[in-house]
Chains A and B, each alone.
Chain A
Amino acid sequence: MDLTMTGTPPFPPGAPGGFTWPAPTRNLPRMNAADASDDVLMLAWTAGDTSAFEMLYARHRGPLYRFLLRQLRDNALADEFFQDVWQRVIAARHGWKPEAAFSTWLYRIAHNRLNDHWRGLKHRPPAPEDGDERAARVPDPTTPERELSEFEQRRRLQRAIEELPEDQREAVLLRLEQELSLDEIGAITGVGRETVKSRLRYALDKLRARLSE
């Protein structure tokens, strides 16, 4: 059996974060690494193939980290939660069934971890003091007039997202950033499709209103 895997990593070597693309897996049959589904990689890892986990991790680390960071707005906390979520994935690996998409399972674990945190705090921390500064750091090569306008738009959008209630913010981030379906968001957050639809509608109405001010 040829164990060589080919294909392009999801990001180039030396990408931000310095993550090194894993070596070819040992146990998977000939296939394109980039095309291996999460399910195949998860099954290979639980069977002992550690490079399959590396691929799975490489695929989800960035989006999950940014999802947590946007919710928590604190790098140290995001680091802690990110590690917790992956540790739970590792500990519960035998409980995962291929019927559930890996990403749905992963974000459900993240959702539960965040819920525990919000319940502990009882309220979210206020918007960070450096919100405007962070928005201003985003590079955007445009004319000064347009730059000002776009800066204002970015600032408004960021504020609007931060002001949303937790359940609406989570739904809208899963939808806009992860491009998940309503059913997937429902499976992650533990509510029905209609509730997700309603949360998204309220959230989008608020964003629309904020952006048109």
Chain B
Amino acid sequence: MNHPRHDPLTPEERALAERLARIGPHDDPPPSLDAKILAAAHAAVAPSRRRRWLALTSVPASLITGRGHGRGAGAGRRRGVAVASSIRPGSRTPRRGR
């Protein structure tokens, strides 16, 4: 126990506690049960497969995306203008440098 003890056992309680300890049971949980619980505790705080997969794939994906943007930045901007114009025919075409 971590917290300071209040109400220490009375002598009568202490004597009974000792007798009770001798009666038992003295059993411990079976090792297979220990293994199950420890595995569950490990799994609960371990990064999930999905998160691991995302972590593994997100970096290369962002690198590829970034590279793509860098290469075709001008073309992308031009394509964006074309799409915007087609959606709103009456709207003004944004000027570069604004």
A: residues with CB less than 8 A from B are 15-19, 37-39, 45-46, 48-50, 53-54, 57, 61-62, 65-66, 69-70, 75, 78-79, 82-83, 86-87, 90-91, 93, 101-103, 134-135, 138, 140, 153-154, 157-158, 161, 175-177, 179-184, 204, 207-208
Contacts and interface: CB of A to CB of B under 8 A. Distances in A.
Contact of B2 (A38, A48, A69): A38
Nearest to A73: B25
B28 A140 contact: no
A83 B34 contact: no
14 contacts: A17-B28, A54-B41, A61-B29, A62-B29, A65-B27, A82-B29, A83-B33, A101-B3, A102-B2, A140-B22, A158-B23, A175-B13, A176-B16, A180-B1
- Please classify the interface of chain B as helix (H, G, I), strand (E, B), loop, or mixed, using the class held by over half of its residues: helix
Contacts of A49: 45
B2 A37 contact: yes
Interface in B1-51: 1-3, 5-7, 9, 12-13, 16-17, 19-31, 33-34, 36-38, 40-42, 44-46
Contacts of A138: 22-24
Interface of B: 1-3, 5-7, 9, 12-13, 16-17, 19-31, 33-34, 36-38, 40-42, 44-46
B13 A57 contact: no
A43 to B, nearest CB: 12
B13 to A, nearest CB: 6
Contacts of A66: 24-27
Contacts of B33: 79, 82-83
Nearest to A54: B38
A181 B7 CA distance: 5
A62 B28 contact: yes
A79 B29 contact: yes
Contacts of B46: 50
A121 to B, nearest CB: 21
A50 B7 contact: no
A147 to B, nearest CB: 13
A177 B17 CA distance: 6
The 9 closest A-B pairs by CB, nearest first: A17-B28, A37-B2, A176-B17, A181-B7, A181-B6, A53-B41, A86-B37, A65-B29, A18-B31
Contacts of B21: 177
A207 B27 contact: no
A179 B5 contact: yes
B38 A90 contact: no
B2 A204 contact: no
